[in-house]
Amino acid sequence: MSVTKPAVASLGFPRIGARRELKFALESFWAGKSGAGELLDTAEHLRRRNWILQRDKGIDVIPSNDFSLYDHVLDTAVMVGAIPSEYGWAGDDVALDVYFAMARGAQTDGEEAGCDHPDHGRDVRALEMTKWFDTNYHYLVPELTQQQTFALSSTKPVDHFLEAKALGIETRPVILGPVTFLKLAKARGGDFEPLTLLSSLLPVYGELLSRLQQAGAIWVQVDEPALALDLTEGERAAYVEAYDAIATAVPDVKLMLASYFGSLGDNLETALSLPVAGLHLDLVRAPDALADILAKAPADLVLSLGVIDGRNIWRADLAAILERLRPVIDARGADKVQIAPSCSLIHVPIDVDLETELDAELKGWLSFAVQKLGELSTISGGLAGANVSDALSSASEALAARAETSRVHDRAVSARLASLKETDRNRRSGFADRIALQRKKLGLPLFPTTTIGSFPQTGDVRKARAAFNRGDLDRAAYDGFLQAETEKTIRLQEEIGLDVLVHGEFERNDMVQYFGEKLSGFAFTRHGWVQSYGSRYVRPPIIFGDVSRPEPMTIDWWRFAQAKTQRPIKGMLTGPVTILNWSFVRDDIPRAETCRQIALAIRDEVQDLERAGAAIIQIDEAALREGLPLRVSEWKSYLDWAIDAFRLSASGVSDETQIHTHMCYSEFNDIIAAIAAMDADVISIETSRSKMELLDAFTAFDYPSEIGPGVYDIHAPRIPATSEMTELLDLARKRLDDRQIWINPDCGLKTRRWEEVKPALKNMVAAAKALRG
Ligand code: GLN
Ligand code: ZN
């Protein structure tokens, strides 16, 4: 029996190019090495290639306007004319230099900008950047004033739709919905909710949609991922207001309202009440939502079922998905169902086939964006009665292999996890007893000074690493180079007068990759780039198997460094939660379990460092906060296992050994109890830009342990004066006991230059001395 085929929809495809073409075109343009024409040509070429690729893969609903030169939230701000005045926009077409000034800041005179407009000589900062929901993609935060007016200021969605149409490809334009846009925006200069601007924003959406309609668009995908968040009644009402207004303005445009990154949960009724033609659901994150939706969705609502994981890289269980979907098609009819990835594919790498250095077995387990499109086609074909048995059995075999192989399952690891005891999670004594022993052993002055770990990764360091990786520099020469850098850095720290030294992390490419490459259970790609922000892409490690530590990872460097000085060198490790959160993780065991496995590997390293003589060991958890689930109701369970993992990693040492942790966030209020439960002896945090207000959370909680509030903003090239730092420290002393305070920069110094670092640290040490005096 032949049934009509449900449409296969793609919600968005990676824009960066399989060979990072967009990055290179952008950076060459920014460096003035190529013109706007070349950049725009590359962009057009990438769009065309993506459309054709998706068409050839059998995708029925192909997106347009998913492409962006930098960021789709920035594009939306520009599209609605939300461009703060300092960017020198004259209200006409938004020029590239205005766009990139919003993205990256600008320090140019008019001439350099290649423009004689008087306003174009400027020195403006970039918009703030923050994480896109719970992904590692960062968007630019739109800034709106209370008197904000909006006007359609870019026709990019229409232009791209027409561009595809000229190639003979009918697309479904993607736009960011008005409620999510406002929810992500921030209020400038005042205390008002950006959402109060909704009614003045909506006409712009109406105008855009009617232009898309005139251009021939039948469907438009409106992304509203905020539907997966905890919303207030007011925010839900905003959805109703927004979509009623849009439906009234452009009644004939069919909207596919796309939710993703989680369940609609208590926003389901709201979503179902909106006058839209379709609703997309993330059934990977929220598999249980399907039954509810089927029971409640009106019969004529087109359901887009996100069944292929847009956030992870594993081949799917196609047979199981088919079984799940068959009854849905039977009940609703193939024309009322679309098969889709759970979200846009910008969060996964592009093509497994480019990975020539991964072994065939591992490659056979993976599915990147291109492969995911193939999986979707198979599912749709299978639902329509086509013979897809080869594809299904190949997927099932890959899964079966993963389920059985000792490459994934390490008995020793599971046995060790099973035998963990409560005492493995606790330091022997409480903080008060520990700190007394540690103070005695370390003999540090009041207000001890230290740094967060890394020192400048200069061009020389990166060149040497690249040469070593290419094979142009042999191991001995490379190690010699790193040793010289390390020793120089130790001498310098002594000269500056820091109390607790670090080795400088010159041997590390990245704080997660360095450890991942030394642990079992991790794999690395060559081309598996994913956009982090703008032209910055990352290649997250892939955790495919049980994690263990075959041999020590940092001991030699620690020993080398400590042999050069009488002052204590901190052992420097990345924590289990951060390693987990910055990797692609297994889908066959809970994240919590992988996290505990990593914790045990780090614990071994901590104990080895202690045995080697380290009196202070820092375990960085830079990404602990960003792992928080989108829904507050899920925070506790995350924090429970995350904190447990940190404690497992840190608790194997004697009371005398001092455990530090470091976190670079700007918010602690809502997780302060969990931070305290980590039971670190010292925590360093980023406070220089918040005037120490961040410490209020610690004061209010009566946080018992020691704290290094950052006094030096390492994000900017400027060198803070001693007086600036003493002022900040005075603010800290109002909030903490003197005995609690350490003095350090906000974060690692790897992105700074020596010319900045040396005087800044000297000033910092002078600030400490002033306080002690
Ligand atoms: N130890 C690391 C460094 O100094 C910490 C970096 C971070 O927290 N992001 O580079
Ligand atoms: Zn940091």
163 CA to centre of ligand 1 in angstroms: 44
* Domain parsing of the chain, residue ranges: 7-404, 458-772
Please state, in angstroms and rounded to a whole number, the distance separating the CA atoms of residues 667 and 698.
11
* Other residues' Cβ atoms within 10 Å of the Cβ of residue 12: 25
What pLDDT score was predicted for residue 75? 98
Three-state secondary structure of 261-304: CCCCHHHHHHHHHCCCCEEEEECCCCCCHHHHHHHHCCCCCEEE
Q: 72, 409, 660, 715: which is the annotated catalytic residue?
A: 715
Query: 88-92, 753-757, 763-767: which range is least confident on average?
Result: 88-92
Whose C-alpha lies nearest to ligand 1, atom 3? Answer: 748
Per CATH, the architecture of 458-772 is what? Answer: Alpha-Beta Barrel (3.20)
The predicted model gives 590-614 an average pLDDT of 98
Q: Are 350 and 369 in contact (CB under 8 A)?
A: yes
Write out the binding residues for L-methionine: 452-454, 505, 620
Exposed/middle/buried for residue 80 (C-beta within 10 Å: 0-12, 13-18, 19+)? buried
Residue with tokens 């334009």: 173
The predicted model gives 65-79 an average pLDDT of 98
| Strand duo 658-663 + 616-620: pairing | parallel
Let me know the angle formed at the C-alpha of 176 by 214 and 174, rounded to the nearest 5 degrees: 50
| Banded pLDDT at 400 (limits 50, 70, 90) | very high
What pLDDT score was predicted for residue 116? 41
pLDDT(117) > 60: no
CB-based contacts of 417: which residues, under 8 Å, 6+ apart? 593, 596, 597, 600
The predicted model gives 699-719 an average pLDDT of 94
Q: Say whether 647 sits in a helix, a strand or coil.
A: helix
Tens digits of residue pLDDT in 203-231 = 999 999 999 999 999 999 999 999 999 99
**Among 164, 154, 147, which Cα is nearest to 200's?**
147
Please state, in angstroms and rounded to a whole number, the distance separating the CA atoms of residues 244 and 273.
10
Ligand 1: lining residues by beta carbon, under 6 Å: 452-454, 505, 511, 572, 620, 622, 662, 664, 747-748, 750
pLDDT(527) > 90: yes
Q: Name the residue type at position 429.
A: S
| Banded pLDDT at 122 (limits 50, 70, 90) | low
Q: Say whether 619 sits in a helix, a strand or coil.
A: strand
Tally: H helices and E strands in the chain = 27, 23
Q: Are 454 and 508 in contact (CB under 8 A)?
A: yes
**Among 118, 121, 116, 100, which Cα is nearest to 31's?**
100
| Banded pLDDT at 2 (limits 50, 70, 90) | very low
pLDDT(741) > 90: yes
597 CA to centre of ligand 1 in angstroms: 22
Please state, in angstroms and rounded to a whole number, the distance separating the CA atoms of residues 680 and 431.
8
CB-based contacts of 149: which residues, under 8 Å, 6+ apart? 81, 200
Q: Taking all residues of the chain, what is their mean pLDDT, rounded to a whole number?
A: 95
Q: Are 496 and 744 in contact (CB under 8 A)?
A: no
Let me know the angle formed at the C-alpha of 159 by 158 and 165, rounded to the nearest 5 degrees: 90
pLDDT(576) > 90: yes
| Banded pLDDT at 733 (limits 50, 70, 90) | very high
Catalytic site includes residue 347: no
| Banded pLDDT at 41 (limits 50, 70, 90) | very high
Give me the CATH topology for the region 7-404: TIM Barrel (3.20.20)
The predicted model gives 724-736 an average pLDDT of 97
Please state, in angstroms and rounded to a whole number, the distance separating the CA atoms of residues 313 and 311.
7
| Banded pLDDT at 716 (limits 50, 70, 90) | confident
**Ligand at shortest distance from the CA of 666:** 2
Please state, in angstroms and rounded to a whole number, the distance separating the CA atoms of residues 417 and 134.
28
CB-based contacts of 129: which residues, under 8 Å, 6+ apart? 138, 139, 140, 141, 533
Tens digits of residue pLDDT in 133-148 = 999 999 999 999 999 9
Please state, in angstroms and rounded to a whole number, the distance separating the CA atoms of residues 221 and 171.
10
280 CA to centre of ligand 1 in angstroms: 39
| Banded pLDDT at 181 (limits 50, 70, 90) | very high
Let me know the angle formed at the C-alpha of 538 by 645 and 714, rounded to the nearest 5 degrees: 75
pLDDT(586) > 90: yes
From the CA of 574, give the closest atom in ligand 1: 1
pLDDT(111) > 50: no
Whose C-alpha lies nearest to ligand 1, atom 6? Answer: 748
**Ligand at shortest distance from the CA of 454:** 1
CB-based contacts of 284: which residues, under 8 Å, 6+ apart? 306, 307, 308, 309, 310, 311, 342
The predicted model gives 633-659 an average pLDDT of 98
Q: Both tokens of residue 271?
A: 């979503």
Please state, in angstroms and rounded to a whole number, the distance separating the CA atoms of residues 503 and 560.
9
**Among 162, 149, 160, 185, which Cα is nearest to 76's?**
185
Tens digits of residue pLDDT in 410-431 = 999 999 999 999 999 999 999 9
Q: Both tokens of residue 684?
A: 């360093």
**Among 541, 453, 463, which Cα is nearest to 748's?**
453
Topology match between the domains 7-404 and 458-772: yes
**Among 485, 445, 443, 481, which Cα is nearest to 464's?**
481
Length of the chain: 773
**Among 42, 44, 51, 49, which Cα is nearest to 22's?**
42
**Among 721, 675, 724, which Cα is nearest to 695's?**
675
What pLDDT score was predicted for residue 3? 53
Q: Both tokens of residue 100?
A: 């990139």
Please state, in angstroms and rounded to a whole number, the distance separating the CA atoms of residues 306 and 328.
13
Q: Name the residue type at position 287.
A: P
33 CA to centre of ligand 1 in angstroms: 33
pLDDT(121) > 60: no
Tens digits of residue pLDDT in 432-465 = 999 999 999 999 999 999 999 999 999 999 999 9
pTM of the shown model: 0.95
Write out the binding residues: 20-23, 131, 136, 452-454, 505, 582, 620, 626, 662, 664, 686, 747
662 CA to centre of ligand 1 in angstroms: 8
The predicted model gives 367-395 an average pLDDT of 96
**Among 118, 73, 114, 80, which Cα is nearest to 97's?**
114
pLDDT(596) > 80: yes
Query: 441-445, 493-497, 693-697: which range is least confident on average?
Result: 693-697
pLDDT(160) > 90: yes
**CA-CA-CA-CA dihedral for 551, 557, 563, 567, to nearest 10:** -110
Tens digits of residue pLDDT in 238-291 = 999 999 999 999 999 999 999 999 999 999 999 999 999 999 999 999 999 999
Query: 200-209, 352-361, 499-508, 688-697: which range is least confident on average?
Result: 688-697
Please state, in angstroms and rounded to a whole number, the distance separating the CA atoms of residues 688 and 751.
17
The predicted model gives 572-590 an average pLDDT of 98
Q: Say whether 682 sits in a helix, a strand or coil.
A: strand
pLDDT(641) > 70: yes
The CB-side HSE value for 4 (13 A sphere, CA atoms) comes to 9
Please state, in angstroms and rounded to a whole number, the distance separating the CA atoms of residues 357 and 470.
14
The predicted model gives 110-128 an average pLDDT of 57
| Candidate of 461, 503, 505, 752 to mutate for ligand 1, largest count of ligand atoms within 8 Å of Cβ | 505
